[in-house]
A = this chain, B = another copy of it.
Amino acid sequence: MKRPTISEIAARAGVSIGAVSYALNGRPGVSAETRRRILRIADEIGWRPSVAARSLSGSRAHSVGLVIARPADTLGAEPFFMRFIAGLEGQLSRQHIGLLLQVVDDHPAAIEAMRRCWAERRVDGMILTDLWTEDTRIPVVEQLGIPAVLVGGPRAESRLPSVWTDDTEAVTAAVDYLVALGHRRIARVAGLPALEHTQVRISAFRAAVHAHDLPEPQVVETDYTWEAGVRATRTLLSRRDRPTAVMYDNDVMAAAALNVAQEMSLAVPDDLSVVAGDDSQLCVLVRPALTALARDIQAYGVHTAQVMMDVVDGRSPSSQPDQPTSLVVRASTAGPG
């Protein structure tokens, strides 16, 4: 199947290829009549400009990159990425920007992937997710001059624009809600300590607890897995002054908590209130259904795409918060027995 080129249109329309280019790009220099004719022919033969040719002359790749740095086996359990990608890609494709996706194991591999991708001119910019408190990718991106958007942040050490969720507000609201129910011993099962948002949420959690004049709370750091959730919950619930409410940094660990509570003959929510850090199908599918912090992840992807396009187009967008997170109250929370 021969894919048509601009010369074929030029030949059919009886004009130069320059004229065709002007017509197709909506630039002045062709009469309205000629332009119409050219557009009609292009449409008829199903012509689309070769991105390679456009990239070469226009020095724009018309694609952006997303390098996900996670062990592949943990990716499936995490509904975040597919939703985020759905929003991101949907918005990018509206501007005819492609999304080049890469999946690697860790940050060194991510750096290598970005470096290569950029050197090959495959992308006009990169999107960085899962930011670490100390993130080796950021200085590399800055040094290479790669236009980029940080998903999470903003960060003191970098001027890269970011799109972030206000975790402080979300965690504070959740603590306030639990305190209003009457809880005084609230613990937190946090996510990966290396992740920036884990630390932000822990700080917010501690601050919120202190603001209510409650004693220093227990905080356990984990790797988000079911097993970690089980272990952390067992530890917390075995203490003499066991918490009456626990906030988990994701949905899987909160679900694990339900099983542990059952094992230990603690009723949820009467003996133990459980709050999940992500809302997902899992939250409504376990019993009792989990109270959770919910946000529109697809919209987060759309928002990120918009900022990415602003960056690529040189509009130097500022860092901006995404929509606020809301607390969805279900059956796993109540006042302490």
Interchain CB contact under 8 A, A101 and B101: yes
Q: Which of A273-331 contact B (CB under 8 A)?
A: 280-282, 284-287, 297-298
By beta carbon, the residue of chain B nearest A262 is B287
Interchain CB contact under 8 A, A122 and B101: no
**CB within 8 Å for A101 and B103 given contacts A52-B61, A120-B49:** no
Is A133 in contact with chain B by the CB < 8 A criterion?
no
**CB within 8 Å for A3 and B48 given contacts A72-B90, A76-B280, A81-B82:** no
Is A11 in contact with chain B by the CB < 8 A criterion?
no
Is A145 in contact with chain B by the CB < 8 A criterion?
yes
Q: How far is the CB of A103 from chain B (nearest CB, A)?
A: 5
With most chain B CB atoms within 10 A of its CB, the pick from A51, A61, A101 is A51
Q: 1/0 per residue A129-159: CB within 8 Å of B?
A: 0000000000000011110000000000000
Is A115 in contact with chain B by the CB < 8 A criterion?
yes
- Report chain B residues within 8 Å CB of A82: 75-76, 78, 81-82
How many protomers of this protein does the assembly include? 2
- Report chain B residues within 8 Å CB of A78: 82
By beta carbon, the residue of chain B nearest A63 is B100
Interchain CB contact under 8 A, A285 and B51: no
Interchain CB contact under 8 A, B3 and A76: no
Interchain CB contact under 8 A, B281 and A121: no
Q: Which of A41-67 contact B (CB under 8 A)?
A: 46-53, 55-56, 61, 63
Q: Which 10 pairs across A and B sit closest by C-beta, in order of nearness?
A: A1-B145, A76-B79, A52-B55, A48-B119, A72-B86, A76-B83, A75-B82, A86-B103, A52-B56, A50-B121
Contacts A3-B119, A81-B82, A285-B286 given; 12 further ones with Cβ under 8 A?
A: A46-B119, A48-B120, A50-B56, A72-B90, A75-B83, A86-B103, A98-B117, A99-B101, A100-B101, A101-B101, A252-B281, A286-B286
